[in-house]
Structure 1
Amino acid sequence: MTTSSSPRVVILAGGLSHERDVSLRSGRRVAEALRGAGVDVSVHDVDSDLVPALTQLRPDLVWPVLHGASGEDGSVRDVVQLLGLRLLGTGPRASRVAWSKPIAKTVAARAGLTTPDFVTLPQSLFRELGANRVLDAIVSRLGLPLVVKPSRGGSALGVNLVTHADELPRAMVDCFSYSDTALVERAAIGTEVAVSVVDTGDGPVALPAVEIVTEGPYDYDARYNPGRVEYFAPARLSESLTAAVGAVAVAAHEALGLERISRTDLIVGEDGTVWFLEVNVAPGMTETSLLPQAAEAAGHNLGDLYRSLVEASLRG
């Protein structure tokens, strides 16, 4: 590790997942903020030149700002550690756990968090058992409305809200176009919030919750193209609920063994129940993303916050 006042950081952005474009935008934003805070930053794609580049550069820290497969499933993080380099963020093993929504929900439930009841269905089993029979059993067991989503992945790709049974087959087909396994869960109804967690060296701290309001689905287009969604940062929650959602996000972060940075997606029911949906080890960092909004709502300068995360990671 260098002792210079300007640590050398490589941002990994891009990759080959469905979320490549978002990752590139996130990487550029993080790099710009860090440069403004006096950090020596370069951005590198995940391609055949990555290993030689990292071997030659030997940066003080590698920050994966990668969304989707390889970036969040632990594999690229494994390679970085194989090269003897430091990572900012969650290591490969915990990333693999968080990347799998069914496993993450199971870990969260064991930690005492409340998460909607669900089933997981590989596409092969779904076909072998007969789609109609399986779908009838799902509706009978879980009821309606339901949410169908890929068991792995982000940015709401392949996610559909099902309010009528006849919508379920199409939702499954859409889901299987992004993943070979579907997670089908009972829809939690209420206020949708996202709570980001950062750890700059004194333990994980929840940033202000961001409330998400949209008339249509909170899908890929809505997330990354301004105008379709209204955000409230901080969320319009009571003081007690604000504390509750922050506590759930920190508890999920700790239960899953996450490091430095995460974002937890929650629903706050009308009765005050806080429903854990999923967690993200590489939150979006674009101009419309939730973590930057939360950080600014907390009064943080993004460059200073990101530099604090870098420095905390370098201290170990």
Structure 2
Amino acid sequence: MKRTIAIVCGGDTSEFEVSLRSAQGIYSFIDKEKYTLYIVEMKGLDWHAQLPDGNKAPIDRNDFSFQLDGRKVTFDFAYITIHGTPGEDGRLQGYFDMLHIPYSCCGVLAASLTYNKFACSQYLHAFGVRIAESLLLREGQSVSDEDVMEKIGLPCFVKPSLGGSSFGVSKVKTKEEIQPAIAKAFEEAQEVLVEAFMDGTEITCGCYKTKEKSVVFPITEVVTHNEYFDYKAKYDGESDEITPARISDELTQRVQKLTSAIYDILGASGIIRVDYIITAGETINLLEVNTTPGMTTTSFIPQQVRAAGLDIKDVMTDIIENQFNTHC
């Protein structure tokens, strides 16, 4: 009997369309001889499965099932590829835990922690991971231009503390830009991060682990054509992504070892991707941890899998089957 897999996408943030693209990527990557696949799209309370004939079937949220030709279809596994809430922040993970449906990524605690950039960086800093100086603002709070300039300095980044794909992010160079940038970030999330600019080489490293093995992928160097690695750089080709990165073997090993350690510290599961800036003296600084990284055919993880000489179909099978080996 083939296992039935839900590729869960959509969500309630600006990353909705990116998530749909990741779902198409994952659909193309998973072995269809081993698994029966359905894409399940979520937006608010509209949850539906996409059917082979192009129609949609509503999901029964009581047991995460749907009706097809008069029979109930239930899922053995959920591959979560929602970037943002409710799939990246632990909410959907809690739902699947209660239904005893295994899934592809981190559990509730690790997902909610990594989704909050400020909380995650401060937590990992306690384990000796280097991070940028930052300030956190919650909705209703404010900070003066003078405090930003004194505590963080210019240039700096202002970004939502929740979310991704560079929505709501500004690189601030002048005093006059600080408050508009904060207002823009608050349009995306209820918490805003003001973070010191670090000048260096941006890199990213993927990793996944199963009961049998630990795999850390080759590192990708990101050279943006823009002020920073913004949405257009990420998705519209306005950057160069070089895998493996043009860094020394010794630094490569240090980054890969740190990525593996961060995976364990967080209690991660499935594929994660950790973004860094390498500053003067080959200092490794954490940018953020992605527990549901983009999985379009051109995303970093598929690039790194290819560079490692692996078949992404095998990687997907590893992640799915590992949950059946460990789930109880």
TM-score (norm 1): 0.92
Give CA-to-partner distance per residue, 1:179-203, whole Å, 9 cap, x none. 1211111112111011111113335
What letter matches 2:116 in structure 1?
S
* 1:36 positional shift: 4.9
Give CA-to-partner distance per residue, 1:275-313, whole Å, 9 cap, x none. 001101100001221111111111111112111111112
Q: Which has the higher helix share?
A: 1
Work out the percentage of aligned pairs sharing the same amino acid. Answer: 29
CA contact (8 A) 1:98 1:104 kept: yes
Give CA-to-partner distance per residue, 1:130-186, whole Å, 9 cap, x none. x5xx22111111222211110100111111222222222221122111112111111
CA contact (8 A) 2:31 2:317 kept: no
CA contact (8 A) 1:60 1:314 kept: no
Cα 1:116–1:203 change in 2 (3 A) is: farther
- 2:5 is the alignment partner of 1:9: yes
Structure of greater relative contact order (alpha carbons < 8 Å, 6+ residues apart): 1
Q: Name which of 235, 238, 241 aligns with 2:245.
A: 235
* 1:271 positional shift: 1.4
Q: Name which of 44, 51, 56 aligns with 2:40.
A: 44
Give CA-to-partner distance per residue, 1:96-123, whole Å, 9 cap, x none. 1111111100111011110111110113
What letter matches 1:218 in structure 2?
F
Matches within 5 A, 1:74-93: 74-93=90-109
* 1:24 positional shift: 0.7
Residue in structure 2 matched with residue 298 of structure 1 by the alignment: 308
Give the Cα separation in 2 of the matches to 1:138 and 1:309. 43
Q: Which has the higher strand share?
A: 2
- 2:230 is the alignment partner of 1:219: yes
What letter matches 1:24 in structure 2?
L
Give CA-to-partner distance per residue, 1:51-76, whole Å, 9 cap, x none. 25724433221111110121111111
Q: What value does the CA root-mean-square deviation take over the aligned residues?
A: 1.6
Give the Cα separation in 2 of the matches to 1:300 and 1:288. 16
Shift >6 Å, 4+ stretches = none
Matches within 5 A, 1:16-55: 16-36=12-32, 38-46=34-42, 47-48=46-47, 49-50=58-59, 51=61, 54-55=64-65
Cα 1:184–1:138 change in 2 (3 A) is: same
- 2:105 is the alignment partner of 1:97: no
Give the Cα separation in 2 of the matches to 1:37 and 1:113. 42
Residue in structure 1 matched with residue 279 of structure 2 by the alignment: 269
Give the Cα separation in 2 of the matches to 1:295 and 1:159. 29
Cα 1:37–1:206 change in 2 (3 A) is: farther
In the comparison of the two structures, how many residue pairs are matched? 305
Residue segments in structure 1 that go unaligned for 5+ positions in a row:
none
Q: Name which of 190, 193, 197 aligns with 1:180.
A: 190
TM-score (norm 2): 0.88
Residue in structure 2 matched with residue 286 of structure 1 by the alignment: 296
CA contact (8 A) 1:118 1:185 kept: yes
What letter matches 1:284 in structure 2?
G
Give the Cα separation in 1 of the matches to 2:122 and 2:263. 14
